[in-house]
Structure 1
Amino acid sequence: MATAQAVGGRLDIPVVDIAGFSSGDSTVRERVARQVDRAARTVGFMQISGHGIPELAADGLTEAMDGFFALPFERKQALRPADVSVNRGYTGPRTESLSHSLGVESAADLFEAFNVGSTAGQYGKAVPDDVEDHYPANMWPDRPALFERNVQAWMEQAGGLARTLTEVFAVALGLPADYFKAYTDHSIDMLRMNRYSMPDGDVRLEPGQLGMGPHTDFGIVTVLWADDVLPGLQILDSEGGWHDVRPAPGALLINLGDLLARWTNDRWISTMHRVLAPIGSDGTPILRRSAAYFHDGNADAVVSCLPGCADAGEMYYEPISVAEHIAAKLAGSRGGTLNVAAAREASRLRQV
């Protein structure tokens, strides 16, 4: 599987300005597509500016996150789903292990999270009956005030950016701009709001324990808002080195997921990343927040190698439905069942 390429020990995460892409200006579209293709081939991460998302939307999101995570633990626990296979509601600290989605054992991760996402009802009759379970109802808290409104406002903005990016991806791959629409018109989308902290100032860690263990994202593309706090997000290069990733002012972090790597036969990179434990260099606990919007595609869509992405005739992945792929990943991270189908992705981590 392709891996981010460091040069001289440094890993460059390009900033791509997409302003004007949707206006139809061919010069701008070609420039943006070329820059995205380069970032997708070499790093799998990029910073997107010119996205047009108002700062007020991010302010509302952070206000909602801070209000929810400040609730008493019992109030948050009441919003846990009845079954871990339901990717909604509250996740408490030390209840998930993201590296299990790769089939790799690790200590439980330290983050807590709250998940909301697309539902079958919002797509009308587009969702086939046999995959409805992949679009579960949301579990909205009644506190803090305006939580649902502020979170939905951010989801609308982040979802719009994700859909624009799939058009950019199509152009960059030499496909019609609307190529991915047939695979995403009832996409499994989810917003995961994360809080990284040490409970009650406890700084004891199990061996190898992290804020969020090494993993690749499961779907097509992730739109990430994050605090500019260190220690925090890191990505893995081809030499086994980990590199800090800090958001540029006014930009949103974007990374590619497994399904896009599968579509492109690893021409584009689904980058291995992790989040370090929320403890400063002086040993004191720190607080970090992030919100990841996952644009994962239609549950019933089948992903297979795109035209022109297997020039040497070798295809690294068998066709798979979005539902099957996501279910295997979640059974690992949330259910604790090591994902034996992710050997190609995990091979990079095992080389470190």
Structure 2
Amino acid sequence: MPEVEKMQNDAQCKIPVIELLDFPNQSSKLMAASEELGCFRLVNFHDVLPATLMSDMKAVVRYLFDLPAEIKRRNVDVITGSGYVTPSGKNPLSEKNPLYEALGVYDMASCRDVDKFCTQLDASPPQRETIMKYAEAVHELFIRIGKKLAKSLGVKMENTGLENWPCQFRINKYHFTPNSVGSLGVQIHTDSGFLTILQDDDEVGGLEVMDSSGEFIHVDPWPDTLLVNLGDMATIWSNGRLCNVKHRVQCKEAKIRFSIASFLLGPREAVEPQPELVDDDHPQLYVPTTYEDYRKMRMSTKLQAGEALALLHPLKI
């Protein structure tokens, strides 16, 4: 595809581009991106998530954020931050990120959870269908990407259990104004889960990811593509092989910014380094934990940028 080749050859493009339909040829590139940067741009996935569905979902997102506040407040938390976050609220997310507003579903892999979300917000039948289809498509992408990562690492496929992992869903609105230019929309952090799939704003930038030197790379908008981030659970699961990318959102211009984020959280039971990745030369770096216990530890310690992983080192226990 000419556009893909152009982006891959662009000296200014520092985010690796992975073509989903070109495996196993992309395996080494996937591993390099996942181990060195912890994120990549995904293209050629529209057999699972059509561009039309992505466009329809963007329209639904804009509609939902325009709803009256009393309706949006029906979207209550299941875990902290999984429901409605208002810029002026007492939720830890809004206290640190006052320009940020969000709505969400705890587990988008659950039809019941997605249906409840639609009911809370009085979604119309066509909107409900769009949200359902989008959730199903992104869940399928999580499984495909996760299995390709496991295979590239040499982890046995039957050990993953990806299909049963919960997937949080969050739609985001950033209230950028002339007075907020130069400030942060979201503080520096890593994602606590395993994988994140982000459908970014097609026009308004602001997302930045940190490279291995500690420098931030600006992620330019690229319509009809997805950005995939690896989080803390991936680092634990891979015994430190996979990089949990630090990132932030910065206000570059006075425009409202929208994004659609989905998070493959991790196993419902304990997560620990995979046995294939532990040996005499690669000792186990982390003790077993559950996603929920780890999430609570991050919140209680206020270590939101991957530092909490050090607390799971065997010598710390």
Residue 203 of structure 1 deviates from its aligned partner by: 2.3
Tell me the equivalent position of 1:85. Answer: 79
3-state secondary structure, aligned to 2:26: helix
Q: Please show how residues 144-223 of structure 1 align to structure 2 within 5 Å.
A: 144-145=123-124, 146-181=126-161, 184-198=162-176, 201=177, 203=179, 210-223=184-197
CA 1:172/1:276 → structure 2, altered by over 3 Å: closer, same or farther?
same
Give the TM-score normalised by the residue count of structure 2. Answer: 0.80
Deviation sequence 1:286-332 (CA, Å, 0-9, x none): 11111111111232233235423565344332221222123434x46
Residue 121 of structure 1 deviates from its aligned partner by: 6.9
Q: Please show how residues 107-126 of structure 1 align to structure 2 within 5 Å.
A: 107-118=96-107
Tell me the equivalent position of 1:130. Answer: none
2: CA distance between counterparts of 1:162 and 1:88?
A: 19
Residue 188 of structure 1 deviates from its aligned partner by: 1.4
Q: Please show how residues 64-75 of structure 1 align to structure 2 within 5 Å.
A: 64-75=60-71
Tell me the equivalent position of 1:261. Answer: 235
2: CA distance between counterparts of 1:189 and 1:34?
A: 26
Paired residues, number: 296
Tell me the equivalent position of 2:26. Answer: 32
CA 1:175/1:56 → structure 2, altered by over 3 Å: closer, same or farther?
same
- Amino acid in the other structure paired with 1:241: E
Structure 2 unmatched runs, 5+: 1-10, 312-317
Tell me the equivalent position of 2:200. Answer: 226
> Please, which of 17, 24, 39 is the counterpart of residue 45 of structure 1?
39
Deviation sequence 1:116-158 (CA, Å, 0-9, x none): 14279759xxxxxxxxxxx899443344523332212111111
Give the TM-score normalised by the residue count of structure 1. Answer: 0.73
Deviation sequence 1:261-299 (CA, Å, 0-9, x none): 11222221010001113x51xxxx211111111111232
3-state secondary structure, aligned to 1:147: helix
Residue 11 of structure 1 deviates from its aligned partner by: 7.0
| Structure number with higher helix proportion | 2
Residue 94 of structure 1 deviates from its aligned partner by: 4.4
Residue 231 of structure 1 deviates from its aligned partner by: 4.1
- Amino acid in the other structure paired with 2:168: M
Task: Please tell me whether residue 244 in structure 1 is matched to residue 218 in structure 2.
Answer: yes
Residue 62 of structure 1 deviates from its aligned partner by: 0.8
3-state secondary structure, aligned to 1:71: coil
Residue 210 of structure 1 deviates from its aligned partner by: 1.7
> Please, which of 265, 281, 303 is the counterpart of residue 296 of structure 1?
265
Deviation sequence 1:49-71 (CA, Å, 0-9, x none): 12121112112211110101112
Q: Please show how residues 282-321 of structure 1 align to structure 2 within 5 Å.
A: 285-309=254-278, 312-321=281-290
Which is worse superposed, 235-244 or 87-96?
87-96
CA 1:217/1:85 → structure 2, altered by over 3 Å: closer, same or farther?
same
CA 1:46/1:306 → structure 2, altered by over 3 Å: closer, same or farther?
farther
Task: Please tell me whether residue 15 in structure 1 is matched to residue 23 in structure 2.
Answer: no
Deviation sequence 1:84-119 (CA, Å, 0-9, x none): 735543111144555x9xxxxx84342101101427
3-state secondary structure, aligned to 2:23: helix
CA 1:117/1:156 → structure 2, altered by over 3 Å: closer, same or farther?
farther
CA 1:60/1:259 → structure 2, altered by over 3 Å: closer, same or farther?
same
> Please, which of 50, 58, 63 is the counterpart of residue 62 of structure 1?
58
> Please, which of 263, 288, 295 is the counterpart of residue 326 of structure 1?
295
1: CA distance between counterparts of 2:13 and 2:284?
A: 28
Decide whether the 8 Å contact of 2:142 with 2:264 is kept in 1: yes
Structure 1 unmatched runs, 5+: 1-8, 20-27, 101-105, 124-134, 348-352
Task: Please tell me whether residue 270 in structure 1 is matched to residue 248 in structure 2.
Answer: no
Structure having greater relative contact order (Cα 8 Å, sep ≥ 6): 1
3-state secondary structure, aligned to 2:52: helix
2: CA distance between counterparts of 1:136 and 1:160?
A: 15
Pairwise CA RMSD of aligned residues? 3.3
CA 1:267/1:302 → structure 2, altered by over 3 Å: closer, same or farther?
closer
2: CA distance between counterparts of 1:211 and 1:267?
A: 30
Decide whether the 8 Å contact of 2:109 with 2:167 is kept in 1: no
1: CA distance between counterparts of 2:137 and 2:23?
A: 21
- Amino acid in the other structure paired with 1:298: P
3-state secondary structure, aligned to 1:30: coil
Tell me the equivalent position of 2:7. Answer: none
Residue 236 of structure 1 deviates from its aligned partner by: 1.2
Q: Percent identity?
A: 25
